[in-house]
Amino acid sequence: MALLEVEDLAVTFARRGQRAVHAVDGVSFSVDAGEVVGLVGESGCGKSVTSLAIMGLLPKQPGLRVGGKAVFDGTDLLQLDDRSRRDIRGRDIAMIFQDPLSSLNPVIPIGLQVTEVLTRHRGMKGEAAAKEAAALLDRVGIPDPKRRLKEYPHQLSGGMRQRALIAMAVACQPRLLIADEPTTALDVTIQAQILELLKELVRDSGTALLMITHDLGVVAGMCDTVNVLYGGRVVETARRRPLFRQPRHPYTVGLLGSVPRLDAGRGEKLNPIPGSVRDLLPWPDGCAFAPRCARRTDECVGEPPELVHAHDGRSYRCVNPEPVPGMVPAPREEESA
Amino acid sequence: MTLSPGKKREKIDRLSELAARDDERGVSLWQEAFRRLRGNPAAIVGAVILAIFVLVAVVGPFLVPYAATDTIGIREGLIKPGVIPGPTGEHWFGYDHQGRDEFSRMIVGARQTLLVGVVSTLIGLAIGALIGGVSGAAAGLGGRWGRWVDTTLMRFIDMLLAMPSLLLAVSIAALLGASLTTVMIAVGVVSVPVFARLLRGSMISQANSDYVLAATSLGVKKSKIALTHVVPNSLAPVIVQATLTLATAIIEAAALSFLGLGNPDTAVPEWGVMLADAQQYLGIRPSLAIYPAVAIIITALGFTLLGEAMREALDPKLRK
């Protein structure tokens, strides 16, 4: 059984007098123990809202509705009361955020912020907590951890800050780590280091990792399974290799096409997906991606496309998927070419 | 300008040494703010004014040439109806209407003035921060129940705000009877809504910050988040406001004295009382009103300069 099983997760923000926004519209995926799962998509596709909903961190406001299930180790996280949710956070599931500077409290030293978690979940205090905090900083590759414990966030470099945040997240050896674009705010070289660190932590401790990113390079380097999100729904799920070798959903194809490649010719242009995420069709009226899709057919509009489960364990939500070479092409291939 | 290689190396060494020292020195938010305060001329002027004021208040009474209650002018027959002698070589500021040495009274009065300013600000700060802190924590982190607490407290604060501050102070002073304590309480209560509103607003905006979300995601309890994360980050504007309030507190205390609601023990000089007394003799010797007025203005200016400089120094947007 999967460690985390998200089923039909739906998040809507409703405002009086305005159309409700379906930020997440029936997302399902699962994370196995020790597995690295990617949640990929453009800005605004609902990836961050998905992670916040799982953690129960969405701001409590009137008009917010969260539906579906997020079963973690047998308990539905969405049904938990505040107290048990707080107990799970940080101990069983921890989260790493995008901007390490604003995610650390600027006015108290790093050490205090790390020991806070240790005190909360492991009951450690004083000397023992300080020792463990130093060990944690050491583990995430912060040099001279004893001195760093006394320093404030602004004295650390961006990479160090993200390492400190990771140290706080792994302090209680959680079984699931959710990383919400952990490298977006960092330099490329630092990005690589942080990803390497995350990989190492996952390998050594058997922690599962839910990697939320828009960066296909990160996905290619880390994830075992990839879920591609568009307009609040999963449009394609596959293991990493098949996804990169042979994407089926036109959106995935578009994402891959818009990434610069080293082996491309110098004069070759990138192929951005036309339009923007905002040009989406509401899912009930058809495929949300249809307005931007190169393989659009008449069937794309009118009814939402069903999730197609292919023979090799992958699935996609498309009525006219990218053909697999060597297979008999679908009959409507020529009209869209 | 070209430097010889030796000089150049020396210069680089010195620079790197400076950089290294800077690295060790750049510590907490407060130390950083202090470093920036020292570079601000307005802050230095304000600090010097306040330092002199505090020094005079503390040691002044022991150094004055004449006792503040000694009616020398009457004893020597210098005070007649319609006549108050002006400054002389011995009495720098002249005499007041009861023949007491004005200079000595100004010096001795600094202590009482400082006491009123500081104590009433502290009263306002304490009550205001308590109400604002509870309200801010409830609104920022609490659920529906928190919003209810916040609304209740804030409506109370709104009631205080609705009344003109001087009228409120006068009512409280009149209600409790004239005394020094009354003045401090009245002036303190007037500043409560400002502190409460300020801390609450600051806390609510901090409650939406990423580090609070991060702490929540680690399972830290709400009360702990409020105390260790939200409050320390919200205090800067409140502390700045306190220095500004000190200035207005002195002026308001003076106003109460002026209206006859101040300290009934007139033996202890206070600038506000002196100003109030001087109004009857404006036609004869206007300088009696000018000394305390200028002293109050300069002191208020000192607090305001320092407060403004602190606001700039603590503003995170201006921090590198």
DSSP string, A165-229: HHHHHTTT--SEEEEESTTTTS-HHHHHHHHHHHHHHHHHH--EEEEEES-HHHHHHH-SEEEEE
Average pLDDT for B196-202 = 93
Which of A48, A105, A180 should we substitute to test contact with B (largest number of B Cβ atoms within 10 Å)?
A105
Using CA atoms, how far apart are residues A231 and A331, in angstroms rounded to an integer? 28
Angle at A87 between CA A82 and CA A90, to 5 degrees: 115
Answer whether residue B194 is part of any domain: yes
Residue A123 has pLDDT above 70, yes or no: yes
Show Cβ contacts of residue A166 under 8 Å, excluding neighbours closer than 6 positions.
A96, A140, A182, A194, A197, A198, A201
Confidence of residue B309 (pLDDT cuts 50, 70, 90): confident
Confidence of residue A334 (pLDDT cuts 50, 70, 90): very low
Average pLDDT for A276-294 = 79
The pLDDT value recorded for residue B181 is 87
Picking from A59, A107, A155, the nearest residue to B233 by CB comes out as A107
CB contact residues (below 8 A), chain A span 27-66, against chain B: 55, 57, 59-60
**Contact A176/B at CB under 8 A:** no
Q: Which of A54, A118, A90, A97 is nearest to A174 (CA)?
A: A90
Average pLDDT for A296-304 = 83
Distance from CA of B308 to the nearest CA of A (A): 21
The pLDDT value recorded for residue B60 is 83
Using CA atoms, how far apart are residues A227 and A41, in angstroms rounded to an integer? 9
Residue B207 has pLDDT above 60, yes or no: yes
Contact flag A97-B214 (C-beta cutoff 8 Å): yes
Question: Which percentage of chain A shows pLDDT scores above 90?
Answer: 28
Answer whether residue B2 is part of any domain: no
The pLDDT value recorded for residue B28 is 64
Distance from CA of B254 to the nearest CA of A (A): 38
**Contact B26/A at CB under 8 A:** yes
| Nearest residue in A to B225, CA atom | A116
| Nearest residue in A to B211, CA atom | A103
Answer whether residue B29 is part of any domain: no
Distance from CA of B148 to the nearest CA of A (A): 14
Would you call A26 helix, strand, or coil by DSSP? strand
**Contact B264/A at CB under 8 A:** no
Q: What residues pair up with A67 in beta bridges, in sequence order? A: A10
Contact flag A97-B26 (C-beta cutoff 8 Å): no
Helices within chain A (DSSP H only): 47-55, 82-88, 110-122, 126-139, 145-148, 158-169, 188-205, 216-222, 240-245, 250-257, 333-336
Picking from B28, B29, B213, the nearest residue to A57 by CB comes out as B213
CB contact residues (below 8 A), chain B span 220-239, against chain A: 220-221, 224, 228-229, 232-233
| Nearest residue in A to B236, CA atom | A107
The interface predicted TM-score of the complex, written ipTM, equals 0.83
* pTM for the predicted model, two decimal places: 0.78
Which of B31, B203, B205, B211 should we substitute to test contact with A (largest number of A Cβ atoms within 10 Å)?
B211
Q: Which of A243, A184, A241, A236 is nearest to A214 (CA)?
A: A184
The pLDDT value recorded for residue A333 is 42
Which of B218, B239, B315 should we substitute to test contact with A (largest number of A Cβ atoms within 10 Å)?
B218
Output the average pLDDT for chain B. Answer: 82
Answer whether residue B30 is part of any domain: no
Cβ neighbours, 10 Å, residue A167: 27
Lowest mean pLDDT among A76-90, A101-115, B1-15: B1-15
Answer whether residue B16 is part of any domain: no
CATH number at residue B194: 1.10.3720.10
Distance from CA of B316 to the nearest CA of A (A): 10
Confidence of residue A187 (pLDDT cuts 50, 70, 90): confident
Answer whether residue B57 is part of any domain: yes
Confidence of residue A174 (pLDDT cuts 50, 70, 90): very high
Output the average pLDDT for chain A. Answer: 86
Picking from B27, B221, B233, the nearest residue to A106 by CB comes out as B233
Residue B173 has pLDDT above 70, yes or no: yes
| Nearest residue in B to A107, CA atom | B29
Show Cβ contacts of residue A235 under 8 Å, excluding neighbours closer than 6 positions.
A228, A229, A249, A251, A252, A289, A316, A317, A318
The pLDDT value recorded for residue A228 is 92
Using CA atoms, how far apart are residues B296 and B275, in angstroms rounded to an integer? 10
The pLDDT value recorded for residue B128 is 94
Contact flag A105-B215 (C-beta cutoff 8 Å): yes
| Nearest residue in A to B23, CA atom | A155
**Contact A169/B at CB under 8 A:** yes
The pLDDT value recorded for residue A336 is 42
The pLDDT value recorded for residue A59 is 82
**Contact A131/B at CB under 8 A:** no
Neighboring chain B residues of A117 at a CB cutoff of 8 Å: 218-220
Range of the domain at B314: 37-318
The pLDDT value recorded for residue B22 is 46
Number of domains chain B contains: 1
CB contact residues (below 8 A), chain B span 273-302, against chain A: none
Question: Which percentage of chain B shows pLDDT scores above 90?
Answer: 18
Neighboring chain B residues of A90 at a CB cutoff of 8 Å: 217-220
The pLDDT value recorded for residue B316 is 58
Residue B275 has pLDDT above 60, yes or no: yes
Contact flag A107-B209 (C-beta cutoff 8 Å): no
Contact flag A103-B216 (C-beta cutoff 8 Å): no
A236: its two tokens: 């394609």
State CA B147 to chain mean position distance.
32
Picking from B210, B217, B232, the nearest residue to A90 by CB comes out as B217
Place of tokens 């307009």: A231
Confidence of residue A279 (pLDDT cuts 50, 70, 90): low
Residue B320 has pLDDT above 50, yes or no: no
**A82 half-sphere exposure, CB direction, 13 A CA radius:** 9
Cβ neighbours, 10 Å, residue A20: 11
Confidence of residue B23 (pLDDT cuts 50, 70, 90): very low
Contact flag A169-B218 (C-beta cutoff 8 Å): yes
Which of B217, B222, B224, B228 should we substitute to test contact with A (largest number of A Cβ atoms within 10 Å)?
B217
| Nearest residue in B to A150, CA atom | B27
Using CA atoms, how far apart are residues B304 and B298, in angstroms rounded to an integer? 10
B59 sits in which H/E element: helix B41-63
Question: Which percentage of chain A shows pLDDT scores above 70?
Answer: 95
Answer whether residue B4 is part of any domain: no
Task: List pLDDT tens digits, range B114-151.
Answer: 888 889 999 999 999 999 999 988 888 877 788 899 99
Most confident by average pLDDT, A25-39, B53-67, B84-98, B161-175: A25-39
Confidence of residue A327 (pLDDT cuts 50, 70, 90): low
Distance from CA of B215 to the nearest CA of A (A): 8
Task: List pLDDT tens digits, range A14-51.
Answer: 888 777 888 888 899 999 988 999 999 888 788 889 99
Contact flag B214-A103 (C-beta cutoff 8 Å): yes
Answer whether residue B3 is part of any domain: no
Picking from B29, B210, B218, the nearest residue to A102 by CB comes out as B210
| Nearest residue in A to B206, CA atom | A105
Average pLDDT for A105-113 = 88
The pLDDT value recorded for residue B25 is 43
Average pLDDT for B224-240 = 87
